[in-house]
Structure 1
Amino acid sequence: MNPKSTQPPLGIIEGFYGPPWTWEEREAVVRRLAPHGYGFYWYAPKSDPFLRRRWNELHPRTEAENLSHFAGYCENLGIGFGVGLSPYEIYRSFDANAKQLLKDKLAHLRDLGVNRLALLFDDMPGDLPKLAERQAEVVDWVQAEGRFKHLAVCPTYYTWDPVLDRVFTPRPAGYLKRLGELLHDDIDVFWTGEEVCSRAISPGHVRAIREELGRPVLLWDNYPVNDGDRMSQHLHLRGFTGRPASLAGQVRGHAINPALQPTLTCIAAITLAESYRLGDDYCYMAATRKAATEVLGTRLGSQVCDDILLLEDAGLRRLSSEKQKILRERYGRINHAGAREILNWLDGRYQVTDEMVQTQ
């Protein structure tokens, strides 16, 4: 008998660039995934300016009401809801004015029913002395002031991938180890693996990061996310691979950054739960077909799996106009949210431009 592993806490971290999901789509995703063990949801879309570039402003009334409603919706399903806040480079000058602005923001989020917070320092330059100390100062202050049930942090350097050093300046020596030493033990730290979008996340790598941080990591898994100019040309439909079930006992939780297509993202999400449930018995393509049938129904699910070479591997730029026409006709005959997402993808409505990435 092949060994089975206990499933770690699973969740969604909505942290992609590009066109956001609707609130109705978010509700549909959590309804679909809750029965598969998805127990937490971090709301952190790059397109929400009031969590990023305009973090020091409060959400307008309508958006605030929607956020509050969704927080309650998740909690009623037994799903822990949190918000990812990116106070842009606040660690450069964490003075009295910055603290007051942050205090007002935290109070605003609490009033909306948000009782879990992630401080996200990703995609920010790290070119200043004592980066870990400065960021830890902000986190300590928020922990004391914010009174949140759960606090998590995404470091500026959240992977060993050297692309971060090229884009956001070279990381300070010993940054991650020092940050782990300074943060309180009950604060979770996000980590994406050996790369920003890791092909695999091995137990050996997770053990090494755990030793460096002095705590288990909270995985921020950048699959099936498909933002960015290149990835948005492809639908990410295949089941998870390279995430062995033995990770379960080594991480605080496993959060996936979803695809731009909310219905289709559930296919891969369900396979992650299956991979933990089945352990060595997991077969990723069989799991993909099973999940596609659950999410899309027998007919559409089978068709999507049959077309996976076109939808996931070839992508829009390699599809001839004739092939695109065939796909439009094929999926245009099916009245289902998943089919409509494929049609919108074919029409370029999910395209993520470099400008979006630079300005969101």
Structure 2
Amino acid sequence: MTPEAQQTNSRSDGFDLGDTVGLVHGPTTDPDAERIVRDTLTRAGVTTIVDGEAAVTVHLGGAGLDVEPAAGLPAEGYVVAVGDHQIVLDGVDTRGTYYAALTLDQLVQGNHVGHVDGVEIRDWPTLPYRGSIEGFYGTPWSHADRLDHLDYLGAHKMNTYQYAPKDDVYHREQWRDPYPADKLAELGELIERAQRNKVDFTFALSPGLSIAYTSDDDFQALIAKFEALYALGVRVFNVPLDDIEYEKWHSDEDATKYGTGGGAAGAAQADLCNRVQREWIATKPDVAPLQMVPTEYYDLEETPYKQALREQLDPAVIVHWTGTAVVPERITSAQAAAAKAVFGHDILIWDNYPVNDYAHGRILLAAYTGREPGLAEHVVGIISNPMNQAAASKLALYSFAEFGWKPATYDADASWRRAIAERAGGDAATIAALEVFADLTTYDGKLHLINAPVLASKLAAFKATWDGGDLAGAIADLEPYLEAIENASAQIRSGVIDPEFEAETDAWLDASFYWGGALRQALRVFEAQAEGNASDVATARDEIEHLITQADEIRDVRLPHSKVRLRIGDGVADAFVAQATGSVS
């Protein structure tokens, strides 16, 4: 599903596509939009697509019908009009026409085969930058992960992917060294896939661990790296200077020129970025303004460092900011406005959700919450830093797409449910299983401070009914949900549309199966204790210990999660089991 359109009006003159459709090209047609249109028509039963007009005609990248054209809409805006046996897909630019083609595909999929309802859509994104930044620590994504991720971004009308994996040595530790030929070839393939999906592949180079700001050799090494990626088609660049000791100089010349303190670091970084912007980027008319990630990349405190960036950094440079914390619970409109003021530059929010490199043993599948729609009035974009698990990150990315496109109507819970339904392919049983599983993986200690809220509420209801003397009723009410926990892993494995989602969550699915079994055995303890059956209590307790031991031995294959036990409903599931047994934890 693509994000909700800004304006949609129904028409009464829908029609069946038939066997033959004409295709008329316009000034903003491109091969990728045409590819989507042809695929859409073929899947809808059209057997012949001819150039020029026919009984049913698609105007691709140009005007038609009696509708206002896309001209005048914001960048990437488009018009889709369906009626009177015509389909108009008119983009204000080639990306807009591509998005119009995606919208047509969704309209056709939403009808019975071969029919399109009459409609007029005028649509455009609210935020210019929408997408992701692969900027986490730990096991990086595979090449296949990245290719799939770029397809996902494009299909959901996100336009930004930033390549900045902390554990790519050529991005950070060995930033001066050219990429080996095989790695450069992989990057080239990613760039081509990004272009195909109308996604800007942003190349980030992080030199802060060792750069000498006064060294022309270092500057030329940075530019050489950028030139190599420019030759492959990259047109957006970033210089991240985060997670470094910014008061530590790497040359005596830097210390002599800049002195000490945060203001000195800000001045040095501004000089570096200004040279990149003015001496390299400004000489290439097809390259977007430089981006940079400041060392003080969060909070709103006025400091000498921020003052130096505000006063000395070229006005064209876009500054990344994560909010009032590295992973803030909320980002408000007022905070975004203050960030723009304190940095004195356009702000691009690097949002550290659902990244889990700090949440060892956790996979984060809760809703994308706590971002006020009004912040879009003060920033140029908001991009997600995802998890080490690329496919599982799509639950959150779906909501990033919706927020970035139309924040005014963003509903975190409704968006989360649509994201789950998409992963489940619309299957009701798989949707229910994913919701149960996601509830057990809610807590991150940052955005979501309550773990397993649904399970917790059901356990609280169980206790209230039990304490009220209705033992059978308490068990009857709770056991179906505990069965759902135990059975969720099998349903998810068989029902999700993305095999990689199952593969990436495999360890947590196994752990949830064992914890579901332990919870059900805890019910048996309560039941046996009420009946005074010591033997059954002992049997259930032994089974609980066995199940929890099995759960605790499971590890994910990725760093940093491979070194710790996995977290499933912790603080809720384990507390209930301990309450039942008096000693199991």
Measured against the shorter chain, the TM-score band is 0.7 to 0.9
User: Which has the larger helix fraction?
Assistant: 1
- The amino acid of 1:122's aligned partner reads D
Matched, 1:158 2:277: no
Shift of the 105–76 alpha-carbon distance from structure 1 to 2, 3 Å rule, reads: same
Equivalent residues of 2:352, 2:386 under 8 A apart: yes
Quick one: distance in 2 between partners of 1:34 and 1:152? Answer: 22
Q: Which has the higher contact order (CA 8 A, sep 6+)?
A: 1
Correspondence for 1:343: 506
Task: State whether structure 2 residue 432 is matched by structure 1 residue 302.
Answer: yes
CA drift of 1:253 comes to 1.1
3-state SS of paired residue (2:331): coil
CA positional deviation for 1:283? 3.3
CA contact (8 A) 2:163 2:202 kept: yes
Residue type of the partner of 1:226? N
Alignment of 1:1-360 (within 5 A): 7-9=126-128, 10-90=130-210, 92-127=212-247, 128-129=260-261, 130-147=264-281, 149-150=287-288, 151-160=290-299, 173-228=303-358, 231-275=359-403, 279=407, 281-299=409-427, 300-313=430-443, 331-333=492-494, 336-345=499-508, 347-352=555-560
* 1:258 positional shift: 1.0
The number of residues matched between the two structures is 336
Distance (Å, rounded) in 2 between the aligned partners of 1:297 and 1:137 = 51
**Which is worse superposed, 99-108 or 286-295?**
99-108
Q: Which residue of 2 aligns with 1:358?
A: none
Q: Based on CA coordinates, which of the two structures has the bigger radius of gyration?
A: 2
* Contact 2:374 2:408 (C-alpha < 8 Å) held by counterparts: no
Distance 1:108 1:188 in 2: 22
- Residue segments in structure 1 that go unaligned for 5+ positions in a row: 163-171, 316-322, 356-360
Deviations 1:40-59 (A, max 9, x none): 11100112100100001111
**How far off is 1:118 after superposition?**
0.4
CA offset at residue 31 of structure 1?
1.8
Per the alignment, in what secondary structure is the counterpart of residue 98 of structure 1? Answer: helix
* C-alpha distance in 2 between matches for 1:327 and 1:294: 17
Deviations 1:253-310 (A, max 9, x none): 1111111221121111112333456656543223212111113323434311122232
Q: Deviations over 1:70-89 (max 9, x none)?
A: 11211222111111110134
Q: Name which of structure 1's ranges 305-314 and 207-216 shifts more when overlaid on structure 2.
A: 305-314
Displaced runs of 4+ in structure 1, greater than 6 A?
323-327
TM-score by length of 2: 0.53
Letter in 2 for 1:24: A
Structure 1 residues 188 and 161 mapped into 2: Cα distance closer, same or farther (>3 Å)? closer
- The verdict on how the C-alpha distance between 1:25 and 1:226 changes in structure 2, with shifts beyond 3 A counting, is same
User: Shift of residue 351 of structure 1?
Assistant: 3.6
Return the alpha-carbon distance in structure 2 between the equivalents of residues 81 and 90 of structure 1.
25
Q: Which piece of structure 1 moves more, 306-315 or 248-257?
A: 306-315
In structure 2, the CA distance between the partners of 1:278 and 1:184, relative to structure 1 (3 Å rule), is: closer
- Report deviation, 1:249: 2.0
SS at match of 1:118: strand
- Shift of the alpha carbon at 1:312? 3.2
Aligned-partner Cα distance in 2 for 1:352–1:325: 26
Distance in 1 (CA, whole Å) between partners of 2:408 and 2:377 is 15
Equivalents in 2 of 1:277, 1:134: separation in Å?
A: 36
Query: Where does structure 2 lack aligned partners over 5 or more consecutive residues?
Result: 1-5, 8-123, 248-259, 444-450, 453-483, 510-554, 564-585
Q: Percent identity?
A: 27
| Secondary structure class of the residue paired with 2:441 | helix
Contact 1:90 1:98 in 2 (8 A): no
Asked whether the equivalents of residues 245 and 276 of structure 1 are also in contact (C-alpha less than 8 Å), the reply is: no
